[in-house]
Amino acid sequence: QQPVQSPQAVILREGEDAVINCSSSKALYSVHWYRQKHGEAPVFLMILLKGGEQKGHEKISASFNEKKQQSSLYLTASQLSYSGTYFCGTDARTSYGKLTFGQGTILTVHP
């Protein structure tokens, strides 16, 4: 079953913060986060493993709550380059590494 992302869209001004959430009804082994620019392929941002720590990538970080099967992506002091669609991908233990993606969250950063 597809994980649910919220919100569906976010509009920010440069320097503002945002949080994108991803919830799954399945027990998860890991959660991935990807960013896709318009007309391009998704690009891997980070992976959160079961039992792992919060990860960070520049001013983008994420957490994974195993009890709730939820992950959150935190974007701080947003930049114009952060604009794009963010997808979470969930990996259940028996899934041979295949990911089930959420429907995406469109992030728009204005000057």
Part of the chain binding another protein (CB under 8 A), chosen from 15-23, 35-43, 66-74, 76-84: 35-43
- 92 binds another protein, rule: CB under 8 A: no
- Secondary element (H or E) of residue 15: none
Interface residue with another protein, options 7, 11, 25, 44 (CB under 8 A): 44
- 104 binds another protein, rule: CB under 8 A: yes
Residue type, 74: Y
Tokens of 9: 């869209």
- 40 binds another protein, rule: CB under 8 A: yes
CA angle 82–101–27, rounded 5-degree value? 120
CA angle 19–67–8, rounded 5-degree value? 30
Using CB under 8 A as the criterion, which residues of the chain lie in contact with another protein when the complex forms?
2, 29, 32, 34, 40-47, 49, 87, 89, 91, 95-104
